[in-house]
Structures are given as C-alpha cells and as structure tokens.
Structure 1
Amino acid sequence: MNEYLDIVLRSLAVYAFMLVAIRLTGKKELSQLNTTDVVLILLISNAVQNAMVGSNTSLLGGLVAAAVLFALNYLLKKLMFKNEKFRNLISEKPEILIHNGNLDFAKLSKLGITNEELQEAIREHGIEKYKDVKLAIMEADGNISIISGDDSLKQTQYKRKRKHKSLSDLN
C-alpha cells in the first residue's frame, strides 16, 4: 500500500476513535480542563502520533496526517450543520439540571455533577440558593448556564459582529 495512503487511513481511524471516546466520556469533561485533563491530552496526542504516521517520521508524513485531521474535522462540521440526525449522533444535547428551584437528582447523578460543582456554578451567577434558580442547564459544551427568577437582573443580549451582505451591498 502507498505509504501516504496508509497515513491517511491511520489518521482517519485515530480521529474516529477519539471522537467516539470523547463522546462516551461525556460533556462534563469538556467544560473545564484541570491538570489531569491536560496531562491526559498530552499523553493521548503522543500515543496516537505513532498510530497515525507509523514508521514515517518525515515532515511530509506529519503534514499529511495533520491535513487529514483538519480536512476530516472540516467535513464533519459541515455535515453536522447540514444534517440534524448526524448532528444529534455526534453532539451532546443541553440537559436541564434545575427547573424553578427543583433539582433533577437523576440527571445530576447521570452526568456526574456533584453538589459542590452545582453550588459553584450558581454562585458564579450571583445566586445563593437553589430555590432562586429558575433554570440551570448543562450546555452541549459542558458549561452550566444559570437563569435566575430575579426580575431585577438584566439579561445581556448577544449581537452578531459580522453583518451579512445584502444584495444592494454587492452592487
């Protein structure tokens, strides 16, 4: 088999494995990296490097492996954008943790969120007690969003910085 085709196939296999492994470990792990997470990422990258390039340690071999990873990542993101079923397979869904002050203990247990982690998240949003939380959601990226029931708190609005060109702008 062609040496570079071998690198392409190996890189595809490693990417697929890593995607499945990250998907199975859960979104909580993606929200904040601690020291052990950084060490794990460094060791995994070192471990899979040889699996991708094999005995080819040339510059071109490394560039081929990197190009395959970038191309595959680009294609998967495009496919996820266009195909809802595929997006649901690959991406995590937001999960409601607290609704109107009521904690969903089963969901918290399933996601492995401790009481201390949840308390920290609500404190970061300036809320003291669970009963004051209107909605707490574990987002797809692993972060916890908190919405209080306090009407005096103002919600900021996100505005896109990039404007779409209209047909009149093109002329």
Structure 2
Amino acid sequence: MINQYLEIVVRSISVYFFMILALRLFGKKQLSQLNTADVILILLISNSVQNAMVGENTSLTGGIVAALALFVINFSFKKIMQHSKLIKNFIQDKPEILIHNGHLFFRTLTRIGITDDELKEAMREHGVEFYKDVKLAMFEIDGSISIISGNTNLKQTHHKRKIHKTLRNVNT
C-alpha cells in the first residue's frame, strides 16, 4: 500500500517538472492574464495529467497524496530557486525594457509579442499619453507592464497585460 502512494508521489513530481519545463519552453509570461483559450488549455492539461499522477488509484487518499506531493515539491522548488541563481535564471525571465526616455525597443516588443495597442493601454492606465513622455517602461517577470513617466504629478499604477496567445511563461 505504501508503494502505491509512493508511486503517486513520484508520478506527481514527474508531472510537475514536465509542466515546469513545458511552460518554460512555450512561454511563461502569458499567465499574467488568461484569455478563454488559455483557461481551456489549463483545464485540458489538468485533466490530461490527472491519470498520469494517480494512475488507477482514484481514491480520496490517492488524490490527497498527489495534491500534497505537488504542494511540497512546489514549496521546495521555490526554496531551491531562492538559493540557486542557475535554476532561477532558467525558470524565471528577466524584466525587459520596452521604452527608455521615449525611445521604443521594437525588437523587444516584437519578440515578447506586445502590440502597440497593449502598450498604449498600459500608458493610458499610467496617465501617459505619448511615448516621448515615458521615462521607462518595463515588461516585468510577472507579465505586467510598469511605466515611469517624467511627470511627478502623474499617478503610477500597475498594468496587467492582456494575453491573446497560448501559455508562454509561468512564475512558480
């Protein structure tokens, strides 16, 4: 009986690391805001990996063991990331400069997939109308766009980017 639950733990940890790797490869930045297709994808993924984690054991105990294994490995992985720059750099992207002193970084915008409309929306939410008024715009690791203007009278807010593609990036 212990072997059955140990197998669930090993399966759950394997699925966890597969999902970390898959989300890293397909992009984790796009979990900042999910659209309908993203939610459907997450639901389908969770359903598809359920059997891989618990196998034929559909008992309450089997489900709790799988969930507990996921919580423990997630907690442990976050602690490891705090102490290992190599792992943290692999899993977590660095913030990206989008605008500096009114100058747009078109290659970065294109690579990340931020549209002109999304950038302008973030600027409006920060009370900035023109690119030339942006001192610094950053695409943060959580998928948000932070904007600092040269105008100290403007209210600085936190903008969450709306995503229109499938999952790219995730912060664990």
How does the TM-score come out when normalised to structure 2?
Answer: 0.84
Q: Which residue of 1 aligns with 2:133?
A: 132
Task: Tell me what 1:32 maps to.
Answer: 33
In 2, the alpha carbon distance for the partners of 1:26 and 1:117 equals 18
Structure 1 residues 15-164: aligned runs within 5 Å: 15-153=16-154
Return closer, same or farther for 1:46/1:54 CA change in 2, 3 Å cut-off.
same
**Distance across 2 between alignment mates of 1:5 and 1:28:** 33
The alignment covers a number of residue pairs equal to: 156
Deviation at 1:126, TM superposition (A): 1.0
Distance apart, 1:9 and its partner CA: 1.4
Q: Which runs of 4+ in 1 moved over 6 A?
A: none
Change (3 A) 1:146 1:155: closer
* Residue ranges of structure 1 left out of the alignment (5+ in a row): 157-171
- Is contact 1:80-1:86 (8 Å) kept? yes
Following superposition, the deviation at residue 7 of structure 1 comes to: 1.1
Instruction: For 1:109 and 1:155, locate their aligned partners in 2 and report how far apart those are by CA, in whole Å.
Output: 25
Residue 10 (structure 2) aligns with: 9
Q: CA RMSD in A?
A: 1.7
Are 2:126 and 2:155, in contact at CA under 8 Å, matched by a contact in 1?
no
The one-letter amino acid of 1:40's match is L
The alpha carbon displacement at 1:155 in A equals: 6.0
Match of 2:167 in 1: none
- Does structure 1 retain, via aligned residues, the 8 Å contact 2:98–2:109? yes
The CA deviation at 1:26 is 2.4
Query: 2-side partners of 1:154 and 1:15: how far apart?
Result: 40
Highest CA radius of gyration, 1 or 2? 1
User: Per the alignment, in what secondary structure is the counterpart of residue 55 of structure 1?
Assistant: coil
Identity %: 64
Report the AA paired with residue 135 of structure 1: L
| More RCO (CA 8 Å, sep 6+) | 2
The 2-side partners of 1:39 and 1:155 are apart by 33
Gaps of 5+ in 2: 158-172
Partners of 2:10 and 2:4 in 1: CA distance? 10
Give the Cα–Cα distance (whole angstroms) in 1 for the partners of residues 73 and 37 of structure 2. Answer: 28
Question: CA shift at 1:154, angstroms?
Answer: 6.0
Residue 2 of structure 1: SS of its match in structure 2?
helix
